[in-house]
Structure formats: structure tokens, C-alpha cells
Amino acid sequence: MGQGDFRLFDVVLDDTIGRSTPDVEHERAVAIFDLVEENSFTPFGHAGGPYKLRLSLANARLVLAITTEADEDVATHILSLTPFRRIIKDYFMICESYYEAIRTATPSRIEAIDMGRRGIHNEGSQTLMDRLDGKISVDFDTARRLFTLVCVLYWRG
């Protein structure tokens, strides 16, 4: 712990927006659990964490507020959601198809939808990594879990 510990120890989503469907809330819980268990999170220009990340939406923008374990401010980054809108919309639509397919479709149909879902999710994760470039360095798995949380916030908002 201490200097040089470039990871998240906690992730909090803005709850003022409200809750979503049980499926979306399940995705949120799993993403936060997985993210805290294993991540790589390096805010540029900071000596080390671990870090707490608060995600929220403000004026149609994504706000990433980073603090240390001692609750000292590290940085706040505000990103436009514009580059994410189409990806999130496509991801939400394919997730609805996926949840419906789980209940009624054949295993091969579920697998095909899930492959499409993963592809769109990867695109969103890469977009997030690109948008964070020069601000926060994350590995691809961390970006994937963060993108899931961005989607949850967006769906709620």
C-alpha cells in the first residue's frame, strides 16, 4: 500500500440519478466487484494511491472524481459523452436482446448475441481508453469494467 499503488480500492456511482432494472443493477454490482478485485489505474502526475473513483453525470458529461484513501483530492476529469452515445445506445439495445434471449432463445442464438455484445463493449472500452489518454492510464480489463459503469450511469440518467 501507499506510494506507487496504482489501483482502485473503491468505486462509487452517483445514486442521485436513481436505480435501473434488476439486470442493469446486477451488471453494476458485478462490474464494481470485479473492478475493485483487479484493476490498473494510474492518474498522470500522481505518486500513487490506492484510489477511490466517484462516477457521476453532470450536464450530459461524465465526471470522474479521484481521491486517495485519506480522501485527498487527486483529480477530477470531465469527459463529453458525445463519443459514447452511439456505442452506449447500441450496447443497451443488444443487452436487451441478450436478456430476452437468455429467457427464450437457443444456446447458439444466445452465443451469437453475446459475441455482438462483447464486440460493442470492446469498442466502448477502447473509446474510453482513448478519451482518458493523457489523464488516466488503465488496462483494457479495467476500461471494460469502467465502460460497463458508464453505461449504467447513462441508462439511469
4 by DSSP, 3-state: which? coil
- pLDDT attached to residue 31: 87
Q: How confident is the model at residue 2 (pLDDT cuts 50, 70, 90)?
A: very low
Note the helical H segments in the chain. 22-37, 82-104, 107-132, 140-156
Residue 19 pLDDT more than 80?
no
Residue 50 pLDDT more than 60?
yes
pLDDT tens digit sequence for 74-133: 999 999 999 999 999 999 899 889 889 999 999 999 999 999 999 999 999 999 999 999
Reported pTM: 0.88
pLDDT tens digit sequence for 24-43: 778 788 889 999 999 999 99
Q: Cα separation of 111 and 27, whole Å?
A: 18
Q: Is residue 1 part of a domain?
A: no
Q: Is residue 77 part of a domain?
A: yes
Q: Cα separation of 59 and 65, whole Å?
A: 15
Q: How confident is the model at residue 3 (pLDDT cuts 50, 70, 90)?
A: very low
- pLDDT attached to residue 24: 73
Angle at 8 between CA 4 and CA 13, to 5 degrees: 150
Q: Is residue 2 part of a domain?
A: no
Q: Cα separation of 36 and 19, whole Å?
A: 21
Q: Is residue 95 part of a domain?
A: yes
Query: Which residue has cell 490506492?
Result: 50
Cα–Cα distance list, 43 to 7, 65, 144, 148 (Å): 10, 11, 17, 20
What average pLDDT does the structure give for the chain? 90
Q: Is residue 120 part of a domain?
A: yes
Q: Is residue 87 part of a domain?
A: yes
Q: In which domain, by residue range, is 76 found?
A: 8-156
- Going by the DSSP 8-state scheme, the letter that residue 49 receives in this structure is B
- pLDDT attached to residue 70: 92
Domain total of the chain: 1
Q: Could you tell me the three cell numbers for 82? A: 458525445
Residue 42 is inside which H or E element, if any? Answer: strand 41-43
Q: Is residue 149 part of a domain?
A: yes
Q: Is residue 29 part of a domain?
A: yes
